[in-house]
Amino acid sequence: MTTFISMCLVVNRVVEAHTTIRTRMPEAGYYLQNISKDNVLRVPTSLPSLCIRKDRSIAEITAIAPNLSGLIVILSSIASKGSVDVLGGSLVKILDGRLLVSLFLDYTDSGLSPEVIEHSLGAMGVVESISVNGALAKGIAVNSHMFPLLMGDKRAIIFAADYFCDMMDHLREKLGPAANTLLYDMGEKYGETFARQTKKETGLSGEEVVKLALAEIQASGWCVSENYQADLGKMFWRVNVKELFECSKRRADEGVNRSHFFRGFLAGLFRVAFGLTSVSCIETLCQANMSDSCEFAIWV
């Protein structure tokens, strides 16, 4: 028996992975070319919550299928309409076992209307309901079902990293250097809570909690975990990450290491994961400060 839980369908533009050293020009913004490694595939992934295709005709189509095979028939039917482009979507099991699929379609070149697509798919008789929601504006469609968002079993919210960094900069303008202390404290609290809950839920401790955390924050889009070194005899660790959200964008105060929230997160994480009373953490290298990655030293 096939058991299905949920999935996202994502179609991204192909991003060329350059191996050259990233530019130092402020206007270059983010340095996505910096995250590729020879043996690891990492792909910029768009959550299927919002679809923007300038000047194209797009729509969100939603269907409820009683089982996976009904859903596959619908997907096959869409695929057979060669000029209807599936841009992405989500597939979720509803509580009673039925499946809800939501797809973003680009039908610009098909000659079809959203109503015709809805009618032709509905007429196949393999789904319980189907609806097509037109674009909110030309080329913009929004998923109407994804709420609440969950990371594992915890509710998550999403907003652009730029906004978060702008808020942190605003805090610095208002509070001066005290803002960085505040951000460190906030990160430390989060790291402590993360470690405490992970220990409780998984029964793991020490390094296992740390490694799980470094994997999870990458899956959450915080950064790419590049390297982790531990000297448990001396209780000294190094963590190396790339594209950390606090540091990956060029800023005016060049010459300063940028991470305070994540630095605090690591301190709280290691302290609780290893059951210690006090942990120090400094950022020894910073991607915002002429390094290719951010490196953190943690010690007791």
Q: Using CB under 5 A as the criterion, which residues of the chain lie in contact with Zn ion when the complex forms? A: 247, 258-259, 286, 294
C-beta closer to Zn ion: residue 76 or 284: 284
Least distance to Zn ion, CB of residue 279, Å: 19
C-beta closer to Zn ion: residue 34 or 259: 259
C-beta closer to Zn ion: residue 101 or 298: 298
Least distance to Zn ion, CB of residue 151, Å: 23
User: Cα separation of 238 and 64, whole Å?
Assistant: 48
Closest residue (Cβ) to Zn ion? 247
**SS3 at position 249:** coil
Least distance to Zn ion, CB of residue 287, Å: 5
C-beta closer to Zn ion: residue 76 or 181: 181
For residue 38, give every residue at least 6 positions away whose Cβ sits within 8 Å of its Cβ, in sequence order, or none: none
C-beta closer to Zn ion: residue 62 or 287: 287
C-beta closer to Zn ion: residue 195 or 241: 241
**Which residue type is seen at 22?**
R
Least distance to Zn ion, CB of residue 221, Å: 16
Least distance to Zn ion, CB of residue 23, Å: 17
- Residue ranges in the chain assigned as alpha helix (H): 68-80, 114-122, 161-175, 178-202, 207-219, 261-273
CA angle 53, 55, 59 (to 5 degrees): 55
Q: What are phi and psi of 228, to 5 degrees?
A: -140, 125
User: Cα separation of 5 and 3, whole Å?
Assistant: 7
Q: Of the candidates 147, 159, 272, 177, which has an alpha carbon nearest to the alpha carbon of residue 221?
A: 159
Least distance to Zn ion, CB of residue 263, Å: 8
C-beta closer to Zn ion: residue 53 or 172: 172
**SS3 at position 238:** strand
Buried b (16+ CB within 10 A) or exposed e, 198-232: bbeeeebeeeebbebbbeebbeeebbbbbeeebee
Least distance to Zn ion, CB of residue 118, Å: 49
